[in-house]
Chains A and B, each alone.
Chain A
Amino acid sequence: MLLPSHFHREVNMSVVVANDIRKSFGPLEVLKGVSLNVEAGEVIALIGRSGSGKSTFLRCLNGLETVDSGLIQIAGHAMSRKPAALRELRRDVGIVFQSYNLFPHLTAGENIMLAPVQVKGETKVAARDEAQRCLSMVGLGDRFDAYPDMLSGGQQQRVAIARSLAMRPKVLLFDEVTSALDPELTGEVLAVIEDLARQGMTMLLVTHEMGFARRVADRTIFMKDGIIHEGGPSAEFFTNPRTPELQAFLRSEIG
């Protein structure tokens, strides 16, 4: 496909390019033209009310949802419906879910080793070292042999992050990864994400943690009714929200 030359330049600089993404579930239009560029090393927070399309947008970025129209380029891959091309893309794009979704029949270490061995063809020995390293990064170096149901929610979520990290992704997507956790456990997960931010990982995170978004995200994006209603550098975004809708949302979230 031929793209206009200005678009090519954008593609080369950005890790994520989403251009005019539209998506409907039946008669319900959930994304009504979302465009977003993310540069390497940027951390983007996505906020908005329930049903505004945040998860759907995130899931479009790694092909878990198909888009009706619009363009997605991510980690150097064009979005595709072809299974093989989609798998290539997903090697470079990790996602962490609200409900952790660890594989319950595998230990923490085995959860992490699975994709490197089965997708990248790494040896078990190399994958084991890498899994151990990833577990240590999330502060669980001593829980390699623990099964998920022996771990707390916060620990499971950190294993899920380690599982994504083991593929050495170029982008990580987080969908409300602390929303299922008791308040006293959110801190340990957020600390891991903050650590990744410091190391320069490119991340998009849907979150309800306003303080965290403000502190860690380079930019924050407010989604409303399937569009990006307002967005900008986090400091400015939270101090001087421009639209009344964002002002109202922030009031309701921060209380």
Chain B
Amino acid sequence: MRTFGSPEFFFIFYALRWTLTLTAIAFVGGGLVGIALAVMRISSSKALRVATSAYMQFVQGLPLLILMFICYYAPSLFGFEVSAIAAAAVALTINSSAFLGAIWESALRAIPKAQWESADALALHPFKVLRFVIAPQAIRLAMPSTVGFLVQIIKQTSIASIIGFVEITRAGQLVSNATFDPLKSFLAVAAFYFAVCFPLTQLSLWLESRAAKRGAHA
């Protein structure tokens, strides 16, 4: 039997890059889809608004674990084998897109109608209104909750352990099984999550207090 030592610690540490990789994919992928969703949610086309709303409601109502199972097992119905990382990345991206879309939609809606109107009155094209007038203000508004959701994504990547993907939670399980020392193993895992998440939650708090203190141009 092995005891929990530095090789075990580094095994978990190396798995951290997979946690971070999954996080990055989910945040960037979910962010891109989320931007599209948020913009479609405020578009003038009712069909687009309804379709995006349905997608967002559906995904938000689905446990991430189930979404991950679906992404992992459903392709095999059609004769495709997907890797655990691909399934996890897709599931996390879908999940993040719905939540980030909702965060950004409400930020866009929070910008007063008068801002749209005066930009329209200056003859700006609607895309430029969004790009130069609305989005910069909405981004500042949404920054704290976006960073807050990034922390959620980091923790949600642990669910990928269920389909066998070796990120740090799965690495902790493996070490625990090998050492019969679950406490040390999972404390190590917890320390890594904390080390990554704590600065981000602090950042989120700081962004929030700054937004509250300073004006819109802060």
- Using a CB–CB distance below 8 Å, which chain A residues touch chain B? 62, 64, 83, 87-88, 90-91, 94-95, 97, 99, 101, 103-107, 114-115, 118-119, 147-149, 160, 163-164, 167
Contacts and interface: CB of A to CB of B under 8 A. Distances in A.
B140 A105 contact: yes
B75 interface: no
B115 A147 contact: no
Contacts of B114: 97, 99, 101
A147 B124 contact: no
Contact of B217 (A88, A91, A147): A147
Interface in B18-57: none
Given A64-B121, A118-B132, A149-B215, 18 more contacts: A62-B121, A87-B123, A88-B123, A95-B118, A103-B133, A104-B137, A104-B216, A105-B216, A114-B122, A114-B124, A118-B124, A118-B125, A118-B128, A147-B217, A148-B217, A149-B216, A160-B118, A167-B122
B101 to A, nearest CB: 22
Given A90-B122, A119-B122, A149-B216, A101 B117 contact: yes
A114 B132 contact: yes
B124 A119 contact: yes
Interface residues of B, number: 21
A60 to B, nearest CB: 13
A105 B217 contact: yes
Contacts of B128: 118-119
A105 B139 CA distance: 11
A103 B115 contact: yes
The DSSP consensus for interface residues of chain B is: helix
Interface of B: 114-115, 117-126, 128, 132-133, 136-137, 140, 215-217
B106 to A, nearest CB: 18
Contacts of B137: 103-105
Contacts of B115: 101, 103
5 contacts: A99-B114, A101-B118, A103-B115, A118-B124, A163-B122
Contacts of A95: 118, 121
A62 B119 CA distance: 13
Contacts of B123: 87-88, 90-91, 115, 119, 167
B158 to A, nearest CB: 37
Contacts of B126: 83
Contacts of A104: 137, 215-217
B145 to A, nearest CB: 18
B118 to A, nearest CB: 4
A190 B92 CA distance: 57
A148 B215 CA distance: 9
Q: Which of B122, B126, B215 has the most CB of A within 10 A?
A: B122
